[in-house]
Amino acid sequence: QPSPFLLSVNNIEVIYNHVILVLKGVSLDVPEGSIVALLGGNGAGKSTTLKAISNLLASERGDVTKGSVEFRGERVDQLTPDALVKRGVVQVMEGRHCFGHLTVEENLLTGAYTRKASRAEIAQDLEKVYHYFPRLKVRRQSQAGYTSGGEQQMVAVGRALMARPSMILLDEPSMGLAPQIVEEIFEIVKDLNQKERVSFLLAEQNTMVALRYANFGYILENGRVVMDGAADELASNEDVKEFYLGLG
Ligand code: ATP
């Protein structure tokens, strides 16, 4: 029975270096058009889950040893990362990963690499990115390595948009950024979700902020989902508050 969700992760297990069991059967669903938060502390397995979905584990000596991943009801766990991008799933890695020596605009253009797009289409997509990230338009000719951390995060998301994704896997966008910039980035995520219908799976340690923007959340602990629920329910849950919101 194919999954009715946009993305379904079914009971995946991940082992690093053939011995270290890091994900111990993780399942989650992302409904079309939603923002789903994947929460949990340092080392809980959030990044590993995203990389398992986008098949980026091989370069880190990680293997998915059990389970499956479905996108639009079809198995995608044997696809290369590029093939997955062509299907519409793009990952924005933790730590932003801009090409520091290229300009902001050149970085954005690299995001269109998997598409057979005309110059006119690419120009149109660039304008769309600049519409959502006006700061990047101002900085378009700046070397990305000399822009601020917030701007580099925007470049990373903007580059993902250039692939015309229907789903973005966004790893820890708030990392190392001032609260005001985090808000700015999450507002853009919300806009992209509402206006462009991009769905998001969002890995975040910043539980409070993520739950304000997400529709649904999963909490990972030590490679397992220990709790899930509607974002507002999780945000008001006493255990979640105590352990993750620092209000306990
Ligand atoms: P963080 O926000 O710190 O990245 P996380 O929840 O994303 O946390 P992961 O990065 O997925 O957690 O890491 C989960 C566990 O897997 C940790 O114990 C980590 O040390 C281990 N791990 C991650 N990458 C590797 C690797 N390449 N080889 C071996 N172990 C790894």
Give per-residue pLDDT as tens, 67-97: 999 999 999 999 998 999 999 999 999 877 7
Average pLDDT for 99-106: 95
CB 228 within 8 A of CB 30: no
pLDDT band at 248 (very low <50, low <70, confident <90, very high): very low
Residue 203 confidence (pLDDT):
97
* Average pLDDT of the segment spanning 158-168: 96
pLDDT at 202: 98
> Dihedrals φ, ψ of 203, to 5°?
-85, 125
Measured from the Cα of 175, ligand 1's closest atom is: 2
d(CA 113, CA 120) in angstroms, rounded, equals 15
- Mutate which of 18, 22, 65 for ligand 1 pocket (most atoms within 8 A of beta carbon): 22
Of 245 and 170, more confident: 170
Most ligand 1 atoms within 8 A of CB, residue of 48, 50, 59, 91 to mutate: 48
Angle made by CA atoms 81, 85, 87, in degrees to the nearest 5: 115
Residue 247, pLDDT score:
47
Q: Is the pLDDT of residue 211 over 60?
A: yes
What is the average per-residue pLDDT within 23-30?
A: 98
Mean pLDDT of 170-175: 95
Q: Calculate mean pLDDT across residues 28-52.
A: 96
Give pLDDT, residue 246.
56
Confidence of residue 245 (pLDDT cuts 50, 70, 90): low
More confident: 62 or 246: 62
State pLDDT tens for residues 47-57. Answer: 999 999 999 99
214 Rama class: left (phi>0) / alpha (psi -120 to 50) / beta: beta
- Looking from the CA of residue 220, the nearest atom of ligand 1 is 6
pLDDT, position 29? 98
CB-defined site of ligand 1, < 6 Å? 16-17, 20, 22, 40, 42-48, 60-62, 172, 205
pTM: 0.95
Q: Hunting for tokens 């378009």 — which residue is that?
A: 140
Q: What is the ipTM of this complex?
A: 0.94
Tokens of 235: 């945000």
Per the rule left: phi > 0, alpha: psi between -120 and 50, beta: everything else, 73 is: left
Centroid of ligand 1 to alpha carbon of 43 (angstroms): 5
Indicate which atom in ligand 1 lies nearest the CA of residue 172.
2
Asked if pLDDT for residue 170 goes beyond 80, the answer is yes
